[in-house]
Amino acid sequence: MTFIVYVPRDAGALSLGAEEVAHSIGREAKARGLELQLIRNGSRGAYWLEPLVEVATARGRMAYGPVNPGDVPGLFDAGFPSGGAHPLSLGLADEIPWLANQQRLTFARVGVVDPASVADYVVHGGYQGLRRALAMSPEAVVETVITSGLRGRGGAAFPTGIKWKTVLEQPAGQKYVTCNADEGDSGTFSDRMLMEGDPLSLIEGMTIAGLAVGAAQGFIYLRAEYPHAHRALNQAIAAAYQARYLGADVMGSGKRFDLEVRLGAGAYICGEETSMLESLEGRRGEVRVRPPLPAIKGLFGRPTIVNNVITLATVPAILQHGAAQYAGYGMGKSRGTLPIQLAGNIKRGGLVERAFGLTLRELLYGYGGGSASGRPLRAVQVGGPLGAYIPASQFDTLVDYEALGAIGGLLGHGGIVAFDDTVDMARMARYAMEFCAIESCGKCTPCRIGSTRGMEVIDRIIEGQERESNVRKLEELCELMVQGSLCGLGGMAPFPVQSALRHFREDFSQRS
């Protein structure tokens, strides 16, 4: 009898030895004359348990982790092919409390399905959203997305349906759907996990977007740092073409939608949408002045949807289950769920998808289990390298767009990086300026020159030169960059610096 084993091919799981584990399982099964079907799924996102191995049993999928290659013979001795007990047993994967206490809508299939299989995708509810969309008018599809309350998950949080409506209202002709998969914020990996673990949901979401606004061509702009996601996407796109979910006749509707992946080349700024469009056109990723909006004049001067991976991958579920179901999650103007990423110095890091409304404390200590080092947490940075540092005294803040905004922070793409009490906030402030200097596209002066000057001023503060006046200079410089920069890079790079000055002044003024 064949037994079915799941070993993730997610980059994070591979980085902890999943490939060697898969090989060991293959070898061991062969040596014992067992017939093995090995499925390479994505990660469920509980990275402290990776490599997490699952085996299909009559009761469901039994999980074991974290599994080292050396553990494999022992697992077989313990009867793991039929779900036998072992010190690494975690019980049923679906019942691991850290996972069971989540609300997975966007990530429902990630870590569950075979990412390369259209058939498996369909078995797990895939392409029902597209089927529904094909039976609706484009206006009705756009209206559904508006009603769901879905906002751009890349960080800007603009209402997705409104953006689509603008593109739909442009005269017919060449239009584009582009996916911003340039996930460059430190502390974020939800796009990567989704593209590796359930790429077809992104493909389906883009297809729905194309049909809704009258675009027949889609591009996924993927960062070059994600080779595993690149392979997974290309494999899934080929499978979708093969099964006629992409191409000249999408699901027999007579409508066309083509999709391809374009690789970035290591530029953080290309996560900014107009810069991404420049890069897609093969140029330097310099930001464009808006207006015109990309929805009116975007890629190659044509009306273009630019949405983040998570935004687009959430669309199929909204079409499948209806706008009301999605809008039923969340609070205030933050509707639906958010895939939050726990990163940095955290004991149980990974992906937590929950409706808006959790506090930082619940995430950091409830899910995260506190610091990895065992020392007290001192600060978190939420929303990537342009997000504010938040001190422990504000850990009761809700993680939603408005609440974080109210304390001068930003939610961004939902990444939370934890730091213990050994962190030197003046050095982190310096790094924020350094990062801006490295990644500045150079088009506007406040960002290009300001970031380098900021680095120099912080160096002087760290060295103890005229601290008072240099701190004042730094504050003025930050204000100038915020007010005068052309885009969010220079305009927001001062946020971590300003927050470090506000909440961790002692790291600047009382250095030994």
Shortest distance, position 169 Cβ to another protein, whole Å: 24
Nearer to another protein, 32 or 284 (CB): 284
Spatial CB neighbours of 495, under 8 Å, sequence gap ≥ 6: 386, 387, 388, 408, 409, 410, 482
Per rule CB under 8 A, is residue 182 in the interface with another protein? Answer: no
Q: 489 and 447 in contact (C-beta within 8 Å)?
A: yes
**In this structure, are strands 334-335 and 330-331 parallel, antiparallel, or unpaired?**
antiparallel
Check residue 184 for interaction with another protein (CB under 8 A). Answer: yes
Among residue numbers 411 through 470, which ones bind another protein (CB under 8 A)? 415, 417-420, 423, 428, 431, 435, 438-439, 441
| DSSP assignment string, 484-511 | H-SSHHHHHTHHHHHHHHHH-THHHHS-
- Tell me whether strands 60-64 and 350-355 are parallel, antiparallel or unpaired: unpaired
Mapped onto helix, strand or coil, the DSSP state of residue 461 is: helix
- Enter the DSSP assignment of 406: H
Site string for another protein, 40-79 (x = CB under 8 A): -----x-xx-x-----------------------------
Q: Please give the Cα distance from 113 to 118 (Å, whole number).
A: 10
Determine which residue in the list 108, 136, 263, 296 makes contact with another protein, applying CB under 8 A.
Answer: 263
Binding of residue 183 to another protein (CB under 8 A)? yes
Q: Which position among 316, 350, 383, 412 is part of the footprint of another protein (CB under 8 A)? A: 350
What's phi and psi for 370, nearest 5 deg?
A: 80, -165
Q: Least Å distance between CB 189 and another protein?
A: 4
How many chain residues touch another protein (CB under 8 A)? 62
Residue 400 interacts with another protein (CB under 8 A): yes or no? no
Q: Give Cβ neighbours of residue 87 (< 8 Å, ≥ 6 apart).
A: none
**Of residues 365-394, those binding another protein (CB under 8 A):** 372, 381, 385
- Quote the least distance from Cβ 344 to another protein, whole Å: 4
CB of 270 to another protein, least distance (A): 9
Query: What is the number of residues in the chain?
Result: 512
Answer yes or no: are the C-beta atoms of 486 and 443 closer than 8 Å: yes
Q: In the chain, what are the helix, strand and coil shares in percent, each to the nearest 5?
A: 45, 15, 35
Binding mask 207-246 for another protein (x = CB under 8 A): -----------------xxxxx------------------
Residue 320 or 498 having the CB closest to another protein: 498
User: With contact defined as beta carbons under 8 Å apart, do 428 and 496 qualify?
Assistant: yes
Residues 106-145 within binding reach of another protein (CB under 8 A) = none
Binding site for another protein (CB under 8 A): 11-12, 14-16, 45, 47-48, 50, 183-189, 191-192, 224-228, 262-268, 279-285, 300, 341-346, 349-351, 372, 381, 385, 415, 417-420, 423, 428, 431, 435, 438-439, 441
